[in-house]
Amino acid sequence: MIKPHGSDELNPLFVADADERSGLQAEAETLPSILLNSAAAANAVMLGGGYFNPLTGYMDLADSLSVAEKMSTVDGLFFPVPIVNLTAETGVKVGSRLALRDPNVEGNPVLAVMDVTAVEDVSDEQMAFMSQKIFRTEDAKHPGVATFNGLGQTLLSGPVQVLNFSYFKTDFPDTFRTAVEIRNEIMTHGWKSVVAFQTRNPMHRAHEELCRMAMEQLEADGVLIHMLLGQLKPGDIPADVRDASIRKMVEVYFPPNTVMVTGYGFDMLYAGPREAVLHAVFRQNCGCTHLIVGRDHAGVGDYYGGFDAQAIFEEEVPAGALELKIFSADHTAYSKKLDKVVMMRDVPDHTKDDFVLLSGTAVREMLGKGIAPPPEFSRPEVAKILSDYYQSLDN
């Protein structure tokens, strides 16, 4: 199986031994504590699950600035975005042991225990620098920039021991999986070549066929459909609705034992190219050999060019930094001429009118009225689940 990023073995930061974890939980109740923001909590969940291997905790300011600038820590570890605990909390002391409380679960239980090795103030200029490098913009209207700059400007760094996986295990018991669990399941299947498909949206026919195309062209043994389960921007479809629609599509339209439907506990960054590289890092940690990177991967609005998320792997990711390979995809749509879904780059003789193309707004309006999009665009079983959701918003 493909090695994890940065080490021979995966090193998740979740405390797996029940007795040790129980002892830490008891200790945590005696420690000073801070309430994390959702971004720092999501980073803890990802560290706990092994997704951010080989990190041992939150990055300090030097590493954060270095990673933002050149996708490398001061010591030379390739990493595409800073993994930080930015906070507005004051009074935390270097050398203290700290209980990190979960903002997303009622009662704010302890999510992790942290040994604080540095407490640093981040200047406005440094925040702006990181925003520009990570998101390629400082525009406060960008949802990722707005979130990042609203976290606070005190940076707490140091190793963490993760005690649970927040609400993800309880709210999505059939879907949330750690990188450890995904690796184990891939081994159980006996898959050697695995393609990952990233999604924060329901999957329509084009997405379904894209997975199939990648699997066939790469002669892959299986596909990991890996959905984001954390915080999104307003208007995005909730995770439980996406989950139900994707599972129905896989159940009806894919052969048994060729697809794993799973999810991960992270908040969307909307960082376009940098987030695409982060997706590649943690899919390698999951045991995947390839990642589908399509048009405007992890983008939002008009902040990124359509294929910037592919170009970054050729232009900025150093050779050998990742073992995982990219499957570069074009915009995919149903061809009326050929009566099948195709990548647009593969049919230069087509005009726009030769494709079944619907805007997201048009699809939402149709679903809200109980009108199913054409079957060339969306499977009827998927459309039914989405239609029920949109109609429920009006009641």
The per-residue pLDDT for range 107-161, each reduced to its tens digit, is: 999 999 999 999 999 999 999 999 999 999 999 999 999 999 999 999 999 999 9
pLDDT of 395: 61
CA distance 139 to 226: 29
Q: What is the average pLDDT score of the chain? A: 95
Residues 6+ apart with CB under 8 A from 159: 13, 56, 57, 114, 115, 117
CA distance to 41, 98, 115, 159, per residue, from 93 (Å): 20, 9, 10, 15
**The Cα angle at residue 307 between residues 303 and 310, in degrees rounded to 5:** 115
Residue 336, both tokens: 């009326």
Q: Sort strands 325-328 and 340-343 into parallel, antiparallel or unpaired.
A: unpaired
Taking 80 as the threshold, does the pLDDT of residue 394 lie above it? no
pLDDT at 42: 97
How far is it, in rounded angstroms, from Cα 99 to Cα 300? Answer: 34
239 closest CA partner among 263, 271, 211 = 263
Q: Which residue has the higher pLDDT, 78 or 231?
A: 78
- pLDDT of 284 > 90? The answer is yes
Beta-carbon count within 10 A of 381 CB: 13
The predicted model scores a pTM of 0.94
Average of pLDDT values for 379-392? 91
DSSP secondary structure of 141-210:
TSHHHHHHTTS-SEEEEEEEEE---TTHHHH-TTTB--HHHHHHHHHHHT-SSEEEEEESS---HHHHHH
pLDDT at 390 over 80: yes
| Residue that wins the pLDDT comparison between 246 and 235 | 246
Task: State yes or no: pLDDT of 385 exceeds 80.
Answer: yes
Return the bridge partners of 223, or none: 195, 259
Confidence of residue 236 (pLDDT cuts 50, 70, 90): confident
Contact call for residues 317 and 325 (beta carbons, < 8 A): no
Give Cβ neighbours of residue 259 (< 8 Å, ≥ 6 apart). Answer: 211, 222, 223, 224, 225, 250
pLDDT band at 391 (very low <50, low <70, confident <90, very high): confident
From the list 226, 302, 280, the residue with the least C-alpha distance to 78 is 280
Residue 82 has pLDDT above 90, yes or no: yes
CATH superfamily of 174-393: HUPs (3.40.50.620)
Q: State the residue for tokens 């159980």.
A: 188
Asked if 290 and 325 touch (Cβ cutoff 8 Å), the reply is yes
Report the DSSP beta bridge partners of residue 226. 198, 262
Average pLDDT over residues 269-297: 96
Lowest-confidence region among 240-244, 368-372, 386-390? 368-372
Residues acting as catalytic residues: 200-201
The predicted pLDDT at position 238 comes to 85
| pLDDT of the residue at 170 | 93
Preceding peptide of 256 cis, ω within 30° = no
**Per-residue pLDDT, 370:** 86
Q: How many Cβ atoms from other residues are within 10 Å of residue 224's Cβ? A: 26
360 pLDDT higher than 80:
no
With beta carbons less than 8 A apart as the criterion, state whether 193 and 220 touch.
yes
Half-sphere exposure of 269 (CA within 13 A, CB side): 25
- The answer, yes or no, to whether residue 17 has pLDDT greater than 70, is yes
pLDDT for position 354: 92
Q: Tell me, what DSSP letter sits at residue 12? A: -
Question: In this structure, which CATH number among 2.40.340.10, 3.60.15.10, 3.10.400.10, 1.10.10.10 belongs to the domain 18-169?
Answer: 3.10.400.10
Do 360 and 338 contact (CB within 8 A), yes or no?
no
Give Cα separations from 16 to 48, 49, 233, 395 (angstroms).
10, 10, 33, 44
Q: Judge whether residue 235 has pLDDT over 80.
A: no
SS3 of 334, please?
strand
For residue 83, CA distances in Å to 58, 130, 195, 342, 364 come to 6, 12, 25, 37, 35
Domain boundaries, the chain: 18-169, 174-393
Which of 150, 216, 196, 179 lies closest to 297 in space, CA to CA?
196
Q: pLDDT tens, 206-218? A: 999 999 999 999 9
Angle of CA points 121, 125, 127, to nearest 5°: 65
Mean pLDDT across 42-64: 98
